[in-house]
Amino acid sequence: MCFEEKYQKAIKELEASGIWKSSYNPPLTRALNALGFKARPPHYVSPLKLAAVFGFSFGMIWGIFMWVALWRFMNLTPPLAVSSSIFAGFLFGAIMSAWTRFVAKRKKLSHWDDL
């Protein structure tokens, strides 16, 4: 079965489970698919990959925002700002990955390979 068929089955399963569309089809997934990448819905991605994607994207955005809005005025050193961003990204990625796995198990979603 090709990726597109599996993706459509996954979307139907997610819709039937009652999960919000913004959760199973977030902007990053839509953008990657529009660019031709084969991005699965988050509930079908491995927890480690999911944590890495969530953590990296959050850490980068949060770190830049905090630098522009606050840290540069506090004379925070760049190494401390970077390490804070990495820690925040790691924490956010771990929590979001665990939550997504919890919801997938609670809703009894299939594994990607079983679609």
Q: What is the DSSP string of the chain?
A: --HHHHHHHHHHHHHHHT--HHHHS-HHHHHHHHTT--PPPGGGS-HHHHHHHHHHHHHHHHHHHHHHHTGGGGT--HHHHHHHHHHHHHHHHHHHHHHHHHHHHHTTPPPGGG-
Residue 113 in this model has a pLDDT that exceeds 90? yes
Q: Please give the model's pTM, rounded to 2 decimal places.
A: 0.87
pLDDT in tens, 50-102: 999 999 999 999 999 999 999 999 999 999 999 999 999 999 999 999 999 99
In the predicted model, what is the mean pLDDT of residues 23-35? 93
